[in-house]
Structure formats: C-alpha cells, structure tokens
Chain A
Amino acid sequence: MLLHSSESVQLLGALPQGAPFVEAFVFQSVGLLVVLLSLSSLWLLCETTSRLLIRIGAPRQISQNSNEVRGGDTRTEAIATADEITAVIAAAVVATSGRGSIIREIQPVAPSLSNPQLAAWTLQGRLQHHTSHSLR
C-alpha cells in the first residue's frame, strides 16, 4: 500500500518542538542513514547500468555539450618544428593572460603524452583550471 506523505512523516519520526536532545540525535542519525542509503543505492544503480550497457555493447556517443575531449583529437603528427610549437604556445599564453607575460620554460606534461586518453583528461583539467575564475 502506498503511504501518504503525512504518514511517511510519522514513520521517519518527526521531531516535535522541545523534544529532548537524545531524540534529536536519533532523528539526525536516521537522517544520515537515509542520505547514505540513498546515495549508496544510486551508486549500485549506476554500476548496474554501466555494466549492462557495456554488456549489450551500447554505442558510446559523446554528447554535444560534454566537457570530455576525444582521445583521438589530441594525437598530433610530429610535423611542427620546435620553434613553431614555441610560437604557438607563446601566442596562446598572450591570448590567455595578456601582454607582459614572459615564457621562461616550456615543458611537456610528462606522464600523459604517451597515453592519449590521459592527455585528454590532463588537457581538460588544465582548461577548466585556467578558465575558471581566479582563486584567492
């Protein structure tokens, strides 16, 4: 039988005004349990859905608005010279931070270049990090 919302209130044990602290503590413990159980259930539902989709081989379409970067996009052919890459990086730095920046050193992001998927995440992380508003 479906419970009306007012009945479910009684089930959860509403806290009356002026109730003793112990009662408030029990009430809060129930609250914490509800949150933990609900998000754990969501975890299980997510895991189940993912496994199911992987098993049936659902096509992985990347949504138009997704923040993800396709791994393949980051694979660049080694056709640019070091000077050209430096010029491109310098232009990007000026475009992002304005004039007055001095590039002292350019280093590849070490662990990710060999792994295109990792590189995609790294780039995305950097992008979000640098384009969000500045931290104090």
Chain B
Amino acid sequence: MEVLTHFFSLTGFGLVSWQMVLMWGVVLVLLYLAVFKGFEPLLLVPIAFGALLANLPTKGVVNEPAGPILSPADGRVLEWKVSVGDEVSEGQTLALLEYTSSEGSTRTEPLVSHAHGEVVSIPVSPTNTVREGEMLVLLYSKEPGGLYYYISQGIVLELFPPIIFLGVGALTDFGPLIANPRVLLLGAAAQLGVLVTFLCAYLLKFSPGESASIAIIGGADGPTAIFLSSKLAPDLLPAIAVAAYSYMSLVPLIQPPIMRALTSAEERRIRMRSLRKVGRLEKLIFALIVTVFCIMLVPPASALIAMLMLGNFLRECGVVDRLVKAAQNEIINITTIFLGTSVGITMTGERFLQPQTLGIIGLGVVAFGISTAGGVLMAKIMNLFIKEKINPLIGSAGVSAVPMAARVSHIEGQRADPSNYLLMHAMGPNVAGVIGTAVVAGFYISTLGK
C-alpha cells in the first residue's frame, strides 16, 4: 500500500486542478472545430494540442531551465526567504517584493522560483530598490529546460510571425493589387474595425497596449496579431491568438450578412473591367517600393514587412525557384507547427480562464464586423468619385484573411450575378489588407511599445 501511495505521488494525477479539467474541455472544443468542422485546422490543431500539453503536468516539455530570475517591475525587496546554497523547487517563494504602480499605489507580491535548482547568487540585499529586468537571484541546475521552453522562444523573441510572413509573401501574387492600385484604399478602410475596437476595449478598461492587441484581431491576420500581442500584451496572447484564428475561419459566416446589409442588389451586380497583365519588372519594383516605404514609415513593423516582401521578391524574380518552394512549403509549414503549439502552450488554465477572455472574444466579432463594413463603405464612397465603378463587395476583402475573404466577395457577387467573376478583383484589397494590418501594427508598436 505504501509503495502504491508513493507511486501515486510520483504520477501527475495529484497535480490535476479544476482549471486543467476545464481547459481539457476547451481543447476538445477546439479540436472538434478544427478536425470535424474544418475551422482553420492548420493553426487550431497545433494550438489545441499545445493547450492540452499546457494543462498537463508535463515536466520535460514546458519547464524553464534554471538561470537568472529577473524583477518583473520596478520595486523594492522586502525580505528574502532563501539564501545562497539553498536548494529550491519550482513554485517556491524566494522573496517578498513591493511594487509601486503608475497611479502610486503599492502592492506586495512573492517572487516565485520558475525552476528547480541551487541558489548560487543573490546580488540584491533586503530593502534595496530594484528595476524591471534586474537580476534578483541566480539558480543553477544540471537539468535543461523543456523542449517547448526553447521552441516557444520563437514567439518570445518574435521570430515565428516574420518567418510565416516570408512564406505568405512567397505565396502571394500582388499582381491584382498592382493592376488596380486604388483598391489599396479598401485595405486601409478595412482597418476601421481595428481602430474602433481599440476604443471599445479601452472603454472596457483594458490598457492601451492590451486594447491594441485585441483590436488587431479585426485585421484578420494571425501572425500580425501574435507579433503585436507578444510585444504589447503577452498575457493576453493565448486568448487573442485563439480568437483571431477562430474568427478568420468564420469569415464566410460573419461577412455576408454585413455585405448584403450595406449594398443594394444593383451594386452587387456591378461588373468590373478585367485587370491588365502585370509584368515581372513591375512586381519586383512594387516589392522594393513597399519594403522601403513601409519600413521608413513604421520601423517597428520592419520585421513583418521585410519578410513579406522578401518572400514576394523571391517569388517574382524567377531565379530562385528552390528558395521559393522552401518558403512556400517547408519553412512555413514547420513554423506553423511550432507557432501553433507555442501559442497553445501558453494557454494554461490560470491564464486563459479569465473574464477578460470573454471580453476579447466578444470584441473580436466587433472588430471583424466593423472592418468588413469599413471596406464596403469605402468602396461605395469611392464610387461617388470614380468613373469605373468598383463592386462594393470586394471592399470586405480588405480584411487580410487571404484568400478566404476574397472568395467570400466572389461568392456573394455570384449570388447576385452568376456570371460575374470578382475573385481576382477581390484579391487586390485582400493583399492590401495584409500591408494595412502590418502598418497598423507598426503604428501601435511605435506609439505604445516600451
């Protein structure tokens, strides 16, 4: 019996909490949506599986290695609970710290060890003030960190989203946009949802950085949402990523009612002149112009823009076929697996099961809806001034969800007139939306980032 009890204490069953059990339910829902309903399975399957791992006692998968423990904010050390030479375990309280908020109020919080190890250095004495990021304790252990501790550095260090953008660039044909560049305005107008949702989130008492990260869901661009929230609101990253990818898969359900409500039957039947052919030289120059212009305008978004246009330049230059194939397939696929699971790994019950998750999911719908409306309304406004009318249905493709949003425009157009082909026209605002969302993200990082 004693052996059995000892064995049970070594298993993970004793570590299961109610949050974990609830998260298993969330995982099952996500897997169901992805596997049986086809909701963005490429991302939701890895995210859901990562979330499952995050809610299991998986030592060796997600645990951090021993090393320096840094101060999470400016404050003061009140008391040390350990001394040099002590063995500490994961979750053990090392010290009591006092933090001062920006409003001037103070709060006392324990400093908790993130790993097992031996305390080898404590460079800060009690009552000393400390700055954010300053090392408080150094732990040593022979044990390395878990597999996903290292892989998820791709998100922490903001590597995965730009690498995904390399593949996106290699897969994207900017020809329809170059042939009809005025649709860039539709891509800009579709960012209206991002900006309005920011204000809604701000009214709901989210901080400016959190509001920006939630609002970018309206851009319908998963990598950009992850890139921005990992910079401005890392705590909200799991909820934002799940909301962004879930809503992207719901584009065919969210957009059509809004498109139909804002357009007349006559407008939906507008036929657009077929686009001219765009030469290779023009596409190459476009890639260079976007790179230089956007990076000069919003340097913080340079990683996204640079990789997007590098991928596109590789594609269009026509002399690096092997690199293009790698970017379009192996690189983007491998990164997608790691990105998805790394996001999922952050979905621990304590982080995800918060009231603000519901707020984020609600605000995500608002963002998508207003972005759709913004694009459609901009097309209608443009029609007041231009000779060759634009079918307003392609305005909704200004949200970046490529190519889903363009296909929705096409299908809605065909409902009104079965022989009207809007797909390639809608691809223009669709890829303009990718650039627009990256510019918005750059604006937010410039103005709200530390």
Closest to B182 in A: A43
- Most interface-central of A42, A45, A46, A59 (chain B CB within 10 A): A42
Residues of the B chain whose Cβ atoms lie less than 8 Å from the Cβ of A86: none
Given that A14-B447, A43-B184, A125-B424 are known contacts, is A31 also in contact with B208, CB under 8 Å in the complex?
no
Q: Please tell me if the beta carbons of A132 and B252 are within 8 angstroms of each other in the complex.
A: no
In the assembled complex, A53 has its CB within 8 A of some CB on chain B = yes
- Find chain A residues with CB under 8 A from B38 CB: 133-134, 136
A82 CB–B CB distance under 8 Å: no
CB distance from B208 to the nearest CB of A (A): 5
Are B208's CB and A15's CB within 8 A?
yes
Q: Of A28, A38, A43, A62, which one neighbours B294 at CB under 8 angstroms?
A: A38
Given contacts A39-B439, A109-B419, A125-B421, contact A63 B318 (CB under 8 A): yes
Given A35-B191, A46-B181, A41:B293 Cβ within 8 A = yes
User: B281 is contacted by which of A14, A53, A118, A121 (Cβ under 8 Å)?
Assistant: A53
Binary flags per residue of A49-64, CB closer than 8 Å to B gives 1, else 0? 1100100001111111
Asked if A74 is an interface residue, CB under 8 A from chain B, the answer is no
Task: Tell me, yes or no, whether B144 is within 8 Å of chain A by CB.
Answer: no
- The distance from the CB of A67 to the nearest CB of chain B, in whole angstroms, is 5
A36 touches B185 (CB 8 A): yes
Segment with Cβ contacts to A, from B19-27, B120-128, B154-162, B271-279: B271-279
Instruction: A132 to B418: give the CA distance in the assembly, Å.
Output: 19
Q: Is the beta-carbon distance between A32 and B446 smaller than 8 angstroms?
A: no
Asked if B277 contacts A60 (CB within 8 A), the reply is yes
Across the interface, do A129 and B181 meet the contact criterion of CB distance under 8 Å? no
Interface size on A, residues (CB 8 A): 63
A109 surroundings in chain B (CB, below 8 A): 419
* Contact between chains at B293 and A42 (CB < 8 Å): yes
Asked if B198 and A17 sit within 8 Å, CB to CB, the answer is no
**Assembled-state Cα–Cα distance A8/B443 (Å):** 11
- A91 beta carbon closer than 8 Å to chain B: no
Interface centre among B199, B274, B436 (most CB of A within 10 A): B274
- List A residues at the B interface (Cβ < 8 Å): 5, 8-9, 12-19, 21, 24-25, 27-28, 31-32, 34-36, 38-43, 45-47, 49-50, 53, 58-68, 71, 109-111, 115, 117-118, 121-122, 124-126, 128-129, 132-136
Sample 21 A-B pairs with CB under 8 A, ordered by A number.
Answer: A15-B447, A15-B448, A17-B102, A28-B198, A35-B191, A38-B439, A39-B187, A46-B177, A49-B285, A49-B286, A50-B178, A60-B277, A60-B280, A63-B315, A65-B316, A66-B280, A68-B173, A110-B419, A125-B424, A128-B403, A132-B403
- Give the interface of B toward A (CB within 8 A): 37-38, 102-103, 173, 175, 177-178, 181-182, 184-185, 187-189, 191-192, 195-196, 198-199, 202-203, 207-208, 211, 252-253, 274-275, 277-283, 285-286, 289-290, 293-294, 297-300, 315-318, 321, 324, 403, 407-408, 410-411, 419, 421, 423-424, 432, 435-436, 439-440, 443-444, 446-448
The 3 A-B pairs with the shortest beta carbon distances in the complex, nearest first, are A46-B181, A60-B279, A39-B188
